[in-house]
A = this chain, B = another copy of it.
Amino acid sequence: MGVTIKDIAKAAGVSFSTVSKALRDSPLVKEPTKKRITDIAMELGYQPNAAARSLVSKKSHTIGIIWPTIEGTAHSSLITRLNTQLEQLSYTTLISINEKEFAINLFNRYQVDAILCFDDNPERLTDTSSAVPVVSYGIADKGSSSPVVDVQRKKAVYMATNYLSSIGHRFISYIGALNNPIQDEKAKGFKLAAEGLGLPGFTHQIVEVQKLDPYDGYIAAKEVLESGERPTAIISGSHDLSKGILRAAGECGIKVPDDLSIISYDNLPDDSDTPIPLSTVGVPMDHITLRLTDVLMDVINEDDIEKVLFLEPELKVTDSCRPPSNH
């Protein structure tokens, strides 16, 4: 097996406790000694043993992320950012794709300092006991005992719907998935706003897709736009869906925003991979990353933590939105 501090101690002719201090850059070791030791460590390719270290220090400087829905690809971008951000706070990230309970146990055994759980199914109340603090990214749940960060998807789509009606739209469609609680939230926001408006002659429509790829948006939009009576505005459940919707509009000879307004639920910064800049609504990814790492640091330091943290969605209106032309 690998090189230990004892090997280094022998090579440097000092005691192993001196090596330990030197490697942790302790001021208790004289500079020349320190340099000699670090040089030898480098040369020998020393890697500190995380097991031994976390055993004694009770800290691993590691965050465990539970991500059972890997195949959905939903959170990959957020996880990448979190990984980067945590690295800057000198934490490393470990991911498990096992289901919640199993992964929590796994990370408890590994003594990670905190766990972040992407739980698409917040319903189950089974609050697995965990010595390590757990933070969930999902939907605020009254019953949950661990902190939850909620990006208020319902509110986001609600805001978008109200905005579109406020500038005159009277027939709005929502295209999105309904097949899990997270996605369903968005549709709920749409329904809530549309039904709440109570405007005479106002029409709304929910079109379900199974996946959130551009392709699904394309298919759904084709159906919507080729039917007799068509909406003057579409709200889409994701950026990718919107790409497909844009293409469908193009093929149907429908101009955005002249004949059709589009708002996309989206956390991504505008990466301009669409023909026109899309109007979006949602909590910007950077906010999510920052707040999530904040909460993780808080639970690690046992600071006072609010049980539920609602992040505020933002509506960014661009050229993809305009009052309907017939008004």
Residues of A within 8 A of B (CB): 1-2, 45, 47-55, 58, 60, 70-71, 73, 76-77, 79-80, 83, 87, 92-98, 105-106, 108-111, 129, 131, 213-215, 218, 243-244, 247
Closest to A105 in B: B47
A31 CB to nearest chain B CB (Å)? 26
**Which chain B residues border A54 with CB–CB below 8 Å?**
51
**Which chain B residues border A215 with CB–CB below 8 Å?**
213-215, 218, 243-244, 247
Check A97/B110 contact, CB under 8 A, given A1-B131, A47-B131, A54-B51: no
Kindly list the 4 A-B residue pairs having the minimum CB-CB distance in the complex, ordered from nearest: A50-B109, A214-B215, A95-B95, A51-B51
A89–B265 alpha-carbon span in the complex (Å):
42
**Which chain B residues border A97 with CB–CB below 8 Å?**
79-80, 83, 93, 95
A272 CB to nearest chain B CB (Å)? 14
A309 CB to nearest chain B CB (Å)? 25
Copies in the complex: 2
- Contact between chains at B94 and A50 (CB < 8 Å): no
A60–B110 alpha-carbon span in the complex (Å):
10
A54–B95 alpha-carbon span in the complex (Å):
19
A243 CB to nearest chain B CB (Å)? 7
**Which chain B residues border A110 with CB–CB below 8 Å?**
50-51, 94, 110
Which residue of B45, B111, B214, B247 contacts A50 across the interface (Cβ within 8 Å)?
B111
A-B contact pairs, 14 of them (CB 8 A): A1-B58, A47-B109, A47-B131, A50-B51, A50-B111, A51-B52, A70-B76, A70-B80, A71-B76, A71-B80, A83-B97, A92-B106, A95-B96, A214-B215
**Which chain B residues border A50 with CB–CB below 8 Å?**
51, 109-111
**Which chain B residues border A45 with CB–CB below 8 Å?**
129
Closest to A60 in B: B51
- Contact between chains at A52 and B49 (CB < 8 Å): no
**Which chain B residues border A60 with CB–CB below 8 Å?**
51
A76–B48 alpha-carbon span in the complex (Å):
31
A289–B325 alpha-carbon span in the complex (Å):
56
Q: Which of A71, A129, A131, A214 has the most chain B CB atoms inside 10 A of its CB?
A: A214
A98–B65 alpha-carbon span in the complex (Å):
14
A198–B99 alpha-carbon span in the complex (Å):
54
A129–B47 alpha-carbon span in the complex (Å):
11
A71–B240 alpha-carbon span in the complex (Å):
14
Which residue of B48, B51, B87, B213 contacts A213 across the interface (Cβ within 8 Å)?
B213
Closest to A58 in B: B1
A129 CB to nearest chain B CB (Å)? 5
Closest to A70 in B: B76
- Contact between chains at B52 and A55 (CB < 8 Å): yes
A243–B129 alpha-carbon span in the complex (Å):
44
**Which chain B residues border A111 with CB–CB below 8 Å?**
49-51
A98–B129 alpha-carbon span in the complex (Å):
29
- Contact between chains at B95 and A94 (CB < 8 Å): yes
**Which chain B residues border A98 with CB–CB below 8 Å?**
83, 87, 92-93
Closest to A82 in B: B97
